Amino acid sequence: MNVEICIIKERCKGCGICVEVCQTDVLELSDELNSQGYRTPRVKSAEECLNCGMCEMFCADFAIWVMTKAEEVGA
């Protein structure tokens, strides 16, 4: 699916819920810490994303969301 997964790392609390609710294992917690010391998620396989919106719905900190990419139209 033609999607872009956006993560604002500074909003993240490192709870890992987005990772847990993703049925297709698109996300994982990285070793990267934000300025508050929380481990932030990263996208490991965007091509597996179903655009189900579960990660977005469950993130209490509005730190992750999914956008559908606009299709490129030939001139």
Contact (Cβ atoms closer than 8 angstroms) between residue 5 and residue 43: yes
The token pair at 71 is 């299709």
- Is residue 2 at the binding interface for ligand SF4, with CB under 6 A as the rule? no
What does the DSSP assignment read for 45-68?
-GGG-----HHHHH-TT--EEEEE
State the nearest-atom distance from the C-beta of 3 to ligand SF4, in Å: 7
Furthest-apart CA atoms within the chain: distance in Å: 47
Copy the structure tokens of residue 54: 């579960």
Site map (CB under 6 A) of ligand SF4, residues 8-47, x = contact: ----xxxxxxx--xx-x-xx-------------x------
Which one of 6, 36, 47, 53 is in contact with ligand SF4 (CB under 6 A)?
53
Chain positions contacting ligand SF4, by CB under 6 A: 5, 7, 12-18, 21-22, 24, 26-27, 41, 49-55, 58-59, 61, 63-64, 66
